[in-house]
Structure 1
Amino acid sequence: MADLLKCLLRVAEKAANVARVCRQEAPLFQLLVQEKTGADKNKKFVQDFKTLADVIIQEMIRHDVGAQFPEMVGFIHGEESNKFENGLGESVVVTVCPSEADTASLLSTVLDGDSTAASLLARAIHQDPASICTDADHLSIPLQPSQLGIWIDPIDATSQYIEGKEEELQQGVLCPSGLHCALVLIGVYLRGSGEPVMGVINQPFNHKSPDSSGWRGQHFWGVSCDGLALCSVSPPKPGSGSGSGSDLSVVLSSSEKPSVKKALSSICHPDKLMYASGAGFKILCVIQGLADVYVLSEGSTFKWDSCAPHVLLKALGGGVVDLNKTLESGVNQAELTYHQPNTGHAGADRWANSGGLIAYRDRDQLSKLLTVLKGNI
């Protein structure tokens, strides 16, 4: 498991490098965007885009993890189709080739013959990052790769990535939008039970380097399995996300139902009802203590959004529950699982968190929320 964690941290940093390289080619970037259609479209948004960076990152992670852990091939799932249409209307299947030169040649086809950009991307895909310290090199858990599956969200909050708004982050303050909301998410789950057991989050655009050499990122990881709970994020201090008094702080989507906002206002000061972009980023805000809970009443997130950050919350004593099932059956029975599709659905909806969700750090706060939300969803 230590080897798998190190592998995921490495490929997540490679993914972050690819995301940064794509944004550096500003005149080209607009050509790399293709609107999703049909069953792959997220119905929450009027426009939902996939980028070439999404596809490249997903296939790179799938390639690298599968090469080191062949028992996991076939169980490494992602958000994106690996088919991309270039400017000539040609459909190209994007894969990672054995050599940098071959990958560059394939990407040049996608990029309408732009060999310079293709070479930059291929270099990022095939170049290993510097060693990443995990503080868990001797981690030992009695699991085998053949027991595990992976969910990849190559760039969560794609709309923020495309828009590219640069915001300066302040310590301890939730910044609701911008490039920093775009995350690389890699979550590992047990094939048998669907329990999430390992998660890696990479934030490619955390801050700009003082030497003007571009963006720098940061990473987070967690493991929660068989009584072992390890997380690279320290538990937030009590009350760090809730402000003064007993008010909870809640992060929401701007499109959340008015009835949910009204119910939450009974236990939240108006300043503590906050809004942010990206499902993964909102859960990361809970992990970091910038908010106490994340509430979503709609089924507009997916397994690839929640699997990785779910593990970090578990390691901190919290979790992510299906909102509707929890309201029906109680707190102890509705943690999200990741191994079974929704029956009767097609495309991306097969893997939607269809009952909504609550991401939380403290079970008492979860109980408090459920009390006010019951009957208001």
Structure 2
Amino acid sequence: MAALLKSLLAASEKAASIAQLCRQEEALFSLLIEEKRGVDKNKKFLQDFKTLADVLIQEVIKHDVGKKFPELQDHIRGEESNKFENGLGETVVVQVCPTQQETAALLQKVLDRKQTAAKLLAAAIHQEVELSDSALDDVAVTIPTESMAMWIDPIDSTNQYIRGRGNVKPVDGIYPSGLHSALVLIGAYDRHSGEPVLGIINEPFFKEDLQASRWQSKYHWGISYRGTNISSLSQPLLRSAPRVVLSSNEKVVLQKALTPLYGEQLCFASGAGYKMLCVALGLADAYVLSEGSTFKWDTCGPHAILQSLGGGIVDLAEALKAWRAGPHNLLPELTYNQPVQGALGAERWANQGGLVAYIYREHLEAVMDTLVAAVDTF
């Protein structure tokens, strides 16, 4: 597991450098946007974009991890299709080629023959990433990789990645919008049970070096397997005044229902992955979402990290049913191996019932009690 964790973290760092490069090169960035259409369009947004950075990051992770762990090669799934349409109307299948030169030649087709941009990206794709993290050497959990599968969200909060600003100020530690909410999410789960096992959250835009005009990344990880829980994070302390983080477009009825519990401590932020990270870091005690606008690739990695800290992510709709029926000891956690029956496209992997992400059980119970008492429509 230490070898797999190192491989995934190295892939996440390479992914972060690609995301940074695409934002830093203005001429390059203007070429990297293609609007999603049809069943691949996220219904939550009027405009949902697929960027070449998304596709490249997904394919790099698949390539690098699959090369070292061939038993996982056919079990690494991502949000994006690896087909990309360039400005000339040509459809190109994006992949990592055997050499940097071949990858650059392929990317030139995507980038409308822009040679310099293609070479920059190819160099980032083929770079060797060395981790200097001694804590990884102490990870001594044995998990059979033959029974694992993975979900990748190459750049969560794509809209903020495309349009977000880097100078947004945090409110009590939480960034309401901007580049800070654009994350690389990697999650591994048990193919048979669907339970999350390993999670990585990488913040490509964690800190800006203004002098060098470059961003620095930061990663977090967690392993939760058969009672063994290890994380790069420490379990946050219980706060005296509980706080919840919500989407800025969350239903007013849910906001009102949660007001008796959280009062003035209703916080808002962009990006599902970022809001789950806020819970893992102790900046919020819960993330509540009433709609089915997140997907397995959004939640798998953060879910494993939250579990490693003693928490989890429950299906809100199913948890409310279980809470009303009682007893309250077990609530349905999200799983990752089964598609939604009858759904098409991306909706096959939606978390349709909404969710509650938490660290402490008492916060989950407080949310359940409050919502059940407030209204029967959830």
Question: Normalising TM by the smaller chain, what interval?
Answer: over 0.9
**TM-score normalised by structure 1 residue count:** 0.95
1:304 matched to 2:297? The reply is: yes
Q: How far apart, in 2, do the equivalents of 1:135 and 1:279 lie?
A: 28
Q: How far 1:269 sits from its partner (Å)?
A: 1.8
Once the two structures are TM-superposed, the CA of residue 144 in structure 1 deviates from its matched residue by 1.5
Q: What whole-Å deviation, never above 9, does each CA across 1:293-333 have from its counterpart, x for those lacking one?
A: 00000000000000001111101111000000111124513
- Map 1:145-294 → 2, pairs under 5 A: 145-167=145-167, 173-209=173-209, 211-239=211-239, 243=241, 248-270=242-264, 272-294=265-287
User: Per-residue displacement from partner, 1:91-150 (whole Å, max 9, x unpaired)?
Assistant: 000000011110000001000000100000000011022324161324233322111000
> Shift of residue 167 of structure 1?
2.5
Q: 1:125 corresponds to which residue? A: 125
C-alpha deviations, 1:247-279, integer Å up to 9, x for none?
Answer: x21111111111111110011122x10110000
The DSSP-based 3-state class of the residue aligned with 2:136 is coil
**Aligned 1:131-150 pairs, distance under 5 A:** 131-133=131-133, 135-150=135-150
Cα distance 1:7–1:29, how it changes in 2: closer, same or farther (>3 A)?
A: same
> 2:352 is matched with which residue?
354
Tell me how far apart the structure 2 counterparts of residues 350 and 202 of structure 1 sit (CA, whole Å): 26
Gaps (5+ residues) in structure 1?
none
How many residue pairs match? The answer is 370
- 362-371 or 167-176, which moves further after superposition? 167-176
CA RMSD across the alignment: 1.4
Cα deviation, residue 358, structure 1: 0.2
2-structure distance, mates of 1:159, 1:199: 23
Secondary structure of the equivalent of 1:321?
strand
Kept in 1: contact 2:164–2:177 (CA 8 A) = no
Displacement of 1:237 after TM fit?
Answer: 2.0
Q: Which moved more, 1:352-361 or 1:326-335?
A: 326-335
Report the AA paired with residue 274 of structure 1: C
Q: Which moved more, 1:329-338 or 1:318-327?
A: 329-338
**How far off its partner does 1:161 sit?**
0.5
User: What letter corresponds to residue 349 of structure 1 in structure 2?
Assistant: E
Following TM superposition, by how much is the alpha carbon of 1:376 offset from its aligned partner in structure 2, in angstroms? 4.4
Query: Once the two structures are superposed, what CA deviation does each residue of 1:55-106 show, in whole Å capped at 9, x if it has no partner?
Result: 0000010011111010011110000000000000100000000111100000
| Aligned equivalents of 2:153, 2:302: Cα separation in 1 | 11
Equivalent AA in structure 1 for residue 311 of structure 2: G
Counterpart CA distance in 1 for 2:96 and 2:187 is 21
Q: 2: CA distance between counterparts of 1:147 and 1:139? A: 19
Tell me the SS of whatever aligns to 2:261: coil
CA contact (8 A) 2:168 2:177 kept: no
Measure how far apart 1:169 and its partner are. 5.6
Distance 1:237 1:211 in 2: 35
Q: CA shift at 1:228, angstroms?
A: 1.1
> Identical aligned pairs, as a percentage?
54
* In 1: Cα distance, 2:90 partner to 2:210 partner: 42
- Return the alpha-carbon distance in structure 2 between the equivalents of residues 201 and 99 of structure 1: 28
CA distance in structure 1 between the aligned counterparts of 2:109 and 2:278, rounded to whole angstroms = 39
